[in-house]
């Protein structure tokens, strides 16, 4: 009887030790690894003034919870009505309370900024293009180079070549600027006391009146 009792006590002790060991092992396993946030799309994201803001999104994965993209919270100070640099902040927390943060920069720029090259001139006056009336040198067969507007954030430079209708050079390169410019609203820009009215055809082309009779079309390089 004593032998049976000793065996029972031994088994109980062994089971108790094994159980305690498992409990201790479970207690020491803790998830301290933060989730991973992957931003979708460009960073920085570049947008034009007064564009409709488009959230590019992000995905989040966790070593324990898996895909936790739906748990991402997004905060932003983006103001498309004013040029400048802004931030979009993505935050996510997993079931073990580990958190991650990712930041996307959003730069709002004036759509006029860039280098614009003349691609055509249209005569709006009566009749056809007048004999002897010079034009910009925009044709591939012209002797001069195409006119260019170069807008930076603070200044504008205009490079001008003029050709006769047969493509021969009427005037070689003349550089105007650099000079400051200001957006005065409604696609109007004040340049050295002169107002430049711009029609944005799309993101890559604009039209500007040279005078009452000539309409110029430019393409963004």
Q: Within this chain, do residues 161 and 126 fall inside the same structural domain, yes or no?
A: yes
Q: Within this chain, do residues 41 and 89 fall inside the same structural domain, yes or no?
A: yes
Per-residue pLDDT of the chain (221 residues; tens, 9 = 90+): 444 444 444 445 444 444 454 454 455 579 999 999 999 999 999 999 999 999 999 999 999 999 999 999 999 999 999 999 999 999 999 999 999 999 999 999 999 999 999 999 999 988 888 988 999 999 999 999 999 999 999 999 999 999 999 999 999 999 999 999 999 987 999 999 999 999 999 879 999 999 889 999 999 99
Last residue of a domain, one of 93, 109, 125: 109
How far is 160 from 16, CA to CA, in rounded Å?
Answer: 92
How far is 171 from 70, CA to CA, in rounded Å?
Answer: 63
Reading the block at residue 56, the tokens are 């590019």
The CATH number assigned to the domain holding 70 equals 2.60.40.10
The CATH number assigned to the domain holding 171 equals 2.40.128.280
- 14 found inside a domain: no
Tell which residue, 104, 106, 107, 80, has the closest CA to residue 90. 104
Q: Within this chain, do residues 216 and 143 fall inside the same structural domain, yes or no?
A: yes
Domain containing 153 equals 114-220
Tell which residue, 112, 103, 134, has the closest CA to residue 121. 134
Q: What are phi and psi of 32, to 5 degrees?
A: -115, 10
Q: Within this chain, do residues 203 and 125 fall inside the same structural domain, yes or no?
A: yes
How far is 109 from 50, CA to CA, in rounded Å?
Answer: 9
In the chain, the number of structural domains is: 2
Residue 27 confidence (pLDDT): 56
Last residue of a domain, one of 81, 109, 137: 109
- 128 found inside a domain: yes
How far is 185 from 39, CA to CA, in rounded Å?
Answer: 34
């Amino acid at each position: 009887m004593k032998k049976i009792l000793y065996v029972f006590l031994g088994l109980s002790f062994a089971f108790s030790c094994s159980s305690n060991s498992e409990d201790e092992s479970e207690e020491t396993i803790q998830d301290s690894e933060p989730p991973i946030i992957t931003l979708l799309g460009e960073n920085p994201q570049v947008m034009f003034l007064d564009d409709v803001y488009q959230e590019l999104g992000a995905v989040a994965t966790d070593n324990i919870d898996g895909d936790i993209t739906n748990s991402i919270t997004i905060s932003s100070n983006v103001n498309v009505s004013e040029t400048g640099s802004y931030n979009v902040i993505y935050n996510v927390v997993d079931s073990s309370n580990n958190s991650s943060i990712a930041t996307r920069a959003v730069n709002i720029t004036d759509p006029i900024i860039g280098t614009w090259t003349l691609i055509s001139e249209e005569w709006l006056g009566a009749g056809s293009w007048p004999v002897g009336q010079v034009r910009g040198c925009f044709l591939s067969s012209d002797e001069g180079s195409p006119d260019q507007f170069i807008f930076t954030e603070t200044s504008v430079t205009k490079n001008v070549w003029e050709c006769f209708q047969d493509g021969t050079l009427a005037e070689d390169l003349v550089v105007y600027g650099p000079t400051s410019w200001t957006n005065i609203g409604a696609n109007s820009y004040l340049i050295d006391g002169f107002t430049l009215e711009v029609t944005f055809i799309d993101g890559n082309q604009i039209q500007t009146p040279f005078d009452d009779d000539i309409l110029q079309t430019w393409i963004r390089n």
